[in-house]
Amino acid sequence: MRSKGLLHVDTQIVVPFFDVDSMNVVWHGHYVKYLEVARCALLDRIGHNYNDMLESGHAWPIIDLQLRYVRSAVFGQTLTVRASLVEWENRLKINYLISDAATGERLTRASSVQVAVDMSRREMLLASPRVFVEAVERTLP
């Protein structure tokens, strides 16, 4: 069973013309951009976004990204991209659901995994930095 996460953010995206191919559907690579928009909104909600991560001396590269395409999005369609926080203590795992904003029809499911890297040593950490964990814990219901 796919985890819904303890905290989520919904972001609306209207598919722009420059994201579609000659068949009027979103080119598959642009979905990653939509996930990033939702991930940034989730990090803002947590109160520890990419700027805060850098200020704390950490980078968070993506080490795994998975997408499952169910139905194509098209030019002008309004999408809802839900980013749900699944794991945060040892790594940052986010599940995503892209759906049609008008009908709720599922278009794409995805997940991303990021790990913290101490930038001063360029070393991957085996646990998330305390500053990030505390930010998540303050935000949880």
Q: Per the structure, how many domains does the chain have?
A: 1
Could you report the per-residue pLDDT of 55-66, keeping only the tens digit for each?
A: 999 999 999 999
Tokens matching residue 88:
């945060």
Residue 2 lies in a domain: no
Q: Output the pLDDT for position 134.
A: 97
What does the alpha-carbon distance between residue 27 and residue 15 come to, in Å, rounded to a whole number?
Answer: 11
Residue 1 lies in a domain: no
Q: What is the 3-state secondary structure (H, E, C) of 33-53?
A: HHHHHHHHHHHHHHCCCHHHH
pLDDT by 10s per residue, the chain, length 141:
466 788 999 999 999 999 999 999 999 999 999 999 999 999 999 999 999 999 999 999 999 999 999 999 999 999 999 999 999 999 999 999 999 999 999 999 999 999 999 999 999 999 999 999 999 999 998
CATH number of 61's domain: 3.10.129.10
Range of the domain at 109: 7-139
